[in-house]
Chains A and B, each alone.
Chain A
Amino acid sequence: MTDAPPPDRTPTGAPIPRTLTWLAVLGAAFLLVPLVGLLVRVPWSTLLETLSSPAAREALGLSLLCATTAAALCVVLGVPLAAVLVRARPRTARVLRALVTVPLVLPPVVGGVALLATFGRRGLLGQYLDAWFGLSLPFTTAGVVVAEAFVAMPFLVLAAEGALRGVDPRLDEAAATLGASRWYRFRRVTLPVALPGLAAGAVLAWARALGEFGATVTFAGSFPGTTRTLPLAVYVALESDPAEALALAVLLMVLSVVVLVALRGRWLGVAR
C-alpha cells in the first residue's frame, strides 16, 4: 500500500494491551471452533470412498473450473474498474465504489434473482439473448460462472483499488516524461508494482467464488455435472446423506486452505 519496497511489518517490541490479546483469542476461537465441530462429525473411515465417488469428483471438477473462470473474469473486468476508481474524482469514486460493492451486502439469493431478472429468459437483456442468439444462461455452466463472478467481483475491485492506490504516482509521471504511452505505463509500471495486492484480490475472489451458493442455486439451478458445484452438492447431500455432505464440506475446506496457503507463500510473499 506504499512505495515499491514493502514496509517492514515484523513484530515490534511494544506488546498490545492484554485485553486485546484475550479478545483476539476469543475471536480466533469463534472462527475456528465451529470448524473443529465440523471435523469431529466427519465420518473419517468412509471419507475417501465418499470423495472418490463420480458425483463428488464431478462437483469438484466443476467447482474448480467455474471458480477459476469466474476469478479470471473478475480480474479482466475488475482491475480496469479499480483503475478507474483510483483516477476518478473523490466524490464520483465514492458513489461508484458504493454501487459496485452492493453485491457484497446483497443476500446472494437476491443477487441470483437480480441475475435472472437481467439474463433470464425474460430478463432485461436475456430476452434478446434468447430471441436473437438462442442463448440462455440459466441452468448452464456459463451461468454458474456469471453468478460467481457477480458475487466475487467486489472483493477483487476493493483489493485492486487499494493496491493501485498504493502505487506511487511519481513512477507513472517519470515514465510519462520518458515518453511511455498510457497503456505501456499501466502495463509495465503500475501493474508490476501493484501485483501482490492484485493477486491477493484475485485469490480472495476465487475463494469467494468457490464457496458461492445462493446466487448460483437461484440463477443457474442445480444439475449434476452442469451446475451442481461443491457447495450445491453439500446442500443436496444434507437432504439425503449428511455424512456425504460433511465429507464434501471437508473437501471444500481443504481445497481452499491449500490454495490460499500455497498462493500466499508464492505470490504474496512480498507482502509478508
Chain B
Amino acid sequence: MTLRAARPLLAAAAVATLTGCTTTPGSSATTSAGGEVTVLVAASLGDVAERVADELADQGYEVRVQAAASSTLAHQVVEGAPADLLVTASPESLRPVLDAGLATDPVTVASNVVVAAVPADDPAGVDSADDLARPDVRVALCAPAVPCGAVAREVLAAAGIVPHVVTEEADVRAVLTKVELGEVDAGVVYRSDALGAGDTVRTVELPGAENRPTTYPAVVLADAANAGGARAFLDVLTSAQGRALLAGAGFGPP
C-alpha cells in the first residue's frame, strides 16, 4: 500500500531529475529556452554534435550527446529511451522510429561517402582502391546490416573489387579502430571518420563512392521532453555555422 502510494511521487521525482531542474514543469516551451537536451546521433556524427552542443551551452542548453550505431539508437528510441533529437546515418535506419509513430518529417542535415582508410605506416602498401582486391590485404568492413556496411559493399561491387574481408564490425568506429591499431591493412569507413582519425590513418578514395552517398536524417521525437531544445540543436546544425562544422569534419551538404 505504502509502496503504491509512493509510486507517482517517485515517478515525478525521476522525471524532474531526468529533465533537469532549470525548466519548471508546465512552463511554456516556446518562450523558455534552455534546459537539458538529449541528442542521439549516429556514431560518425559524434564529434560534430559535441561542437554544436558547445555552441548551445552559451544559450543555456545543457546538451547530452550520445553517439552509437544508428540502428542501435533507433532500437533504443522504439523501446522508449528518453531523447529529444535523433540523427541517424541513413533513412533506412530511421524507418522503425517513423513506423512506430514516434517522429515525423525527417530533415536531411548532411551526407557522407565511403573511403578506404589505411594505417599511416601502410604495412601492405595500399596505394589505390585496386589494392583492396589483393589477397594479402586484410580488410575490415561494417556488417552488411549496418548502413556503412551496406554502402561499402555496393561501392566495392560496382567498382568490381572483391576484398579479403577478415572482419565485419558492428559499427564504423570499430572498423576505424582496427585500422588505427594496424590490425587490418584497410577498412572502409566514411570520409568523416577517416578525416577525424587525423594522422593515424591515410585516406584512399574509392571510385564511384560519390554515386552512393549516405544521407543523415534528423527528427525531433514526438515524446521529446525538450522539443524546443531539440529544434534549437537542429537550427544550429543546419545553419551556415553548422554546415561549416560539418564540412570541416568531412561531411557533404545534405
Contact = CB atoms under 8 A, between A and B. Distances in A.
Interface string A204-234: 0000000000000100011110011000000
A242 B166 contact: no
A235 B170 contact: yes
A242 B75 contact: yes
A8 B91 CA distance: 63
B188 to A, nearest CB: 14
Interface residues of B, number: 23
A223 B168 CA distance: 6
Given A236-B143, A238-B72, A238-B75, A120 B181 contact: yes
B169 interface: yes
A224 B141 CA distance: 13
Given A239-B69, A239-B71, A239-B145, A223 B183 contact: no
B143 A116 contact: no
A188 to B, nearest CB: 46
Contacts, number: 59
B20 to A, nearest CB: 29
Interface residues of A, number: 21
A138 interface: yes
B181 A139 contact: no
Contact of A222 (B69, B75, B143): B143
A122 B184 CA distance: 11
A139 B71 contact: no
Interface string B192-235: 00000000000000000000000000000000000000000000
Interface in A236-258: 236-242
Interface of B: 69, 71-72, 75, 123, 138, 140, 143-146, 165-170, 174, 178, 181-184
